[in-house]
Amino acid sequence: MKGRLKSGFTLFELLVTLTVITVIAAAGFLSIARGTDERSLEKAADMLHSMVRIARTQAITNGVHSRLIISLDQSDASSYLRKVGVVIEASDQGYWKAVERGVVLPEGVYVVPQSGSVSFTSDWPATGRRSIYRKTNTESDDSAIYDYEYPLQDEVSEDSGTSWLCIQFSPNGRLSSAEWGGGGLVPVSNQLVLAKGNWDGSKVAFRSAADFIAIAFKQSGSSYQTQETELVDDEVES
């Protein structure tokens, strides 16, 4: 009677199998990480647009002015151009209150400001493809910046705390008028531009002018997402 052949794997075969499994797992991990990074800009746009809608709804529902606010606090790298909140007018003139605690955009995605501690790649338009937050119809106006302690106090003065850039809605849901309290012209071409960047310890370095999503505002206060450069590159005069 012939002896049975013993079945099993040699040490070499086991090592080859483990190597193949490791390579496949690493490739899968990189694919997931790459997909997550690619989706981060879209996720940030959805988060920011949701906060825009909350700000507009709060203005209409409460019959007061509301402001979408975005952090300009350069001392806090985790918040700078990433922390987004909503405040509405309080009963005391000049005071505002938070309607929620706000959100932080995904890591590596920032709101592109008109100016500040940022740098751009060589392909970035000289003055375009930036957020525009005007109080008036003057193209060089970037004065829609106020200071808040947010959201630590129930009601805060707009002259306390750190700086935030603002998009304001009137009680009827339209973009704010020139005086931000009634009368005057409605600002034109306000928009918020998001792009990927890296914090290098002192500023945000934006990576590519081609990789962006903008939230554009109509004078009615409604908004939409766009990646059309001819709409986003409303260049701001210096």
* Cβ atoms of residues 139 and 120 within 8 Å: no
**Interatomic CA distance for residues 191 and 205, integer angstroms:** 20
> pLDDT of the chain along its 238 residues, tens only?
455 445 566 776 667 677 767 767 665 554 444 445 668 999 999 999 999 999 999 999 999 989 999 999 999 999 999 999 999 988 877 788 898 889 999 999 999 998 889 999 999 988 789 998 876 656 656 667 777 777 655 677 676 778 888 898 989 998 875 454 544 445 556 899 999 999 998 999 999 999 999 999 988 889 999 998 877 775 544 3
Report yes or no on 24 lying in a domain. Answer: no
- The CA distance from 223 to 57, in Å, is 12
Residue 178 lies in a domain: yes
Q: Which residues sit opposite 67 in a β-bridge?
A: 87, 168
Provide the domain limits for residue 182. Answer: 38-232
Overall number of domains in the chain: 1
CA 137, distance to chain mean position in Å, is 24
- DSSP lists the bridge partners of residue 169 as 66, 175
- pTM of the complete model beyond 0.75: yes
**In whole angstroms, what is the distance from residue 190 CA to residue 215 CA?**
9
CATH number, residue 111 = 3.55.40.10
Q: Has residue 100 been placed in a domain?
A: yes
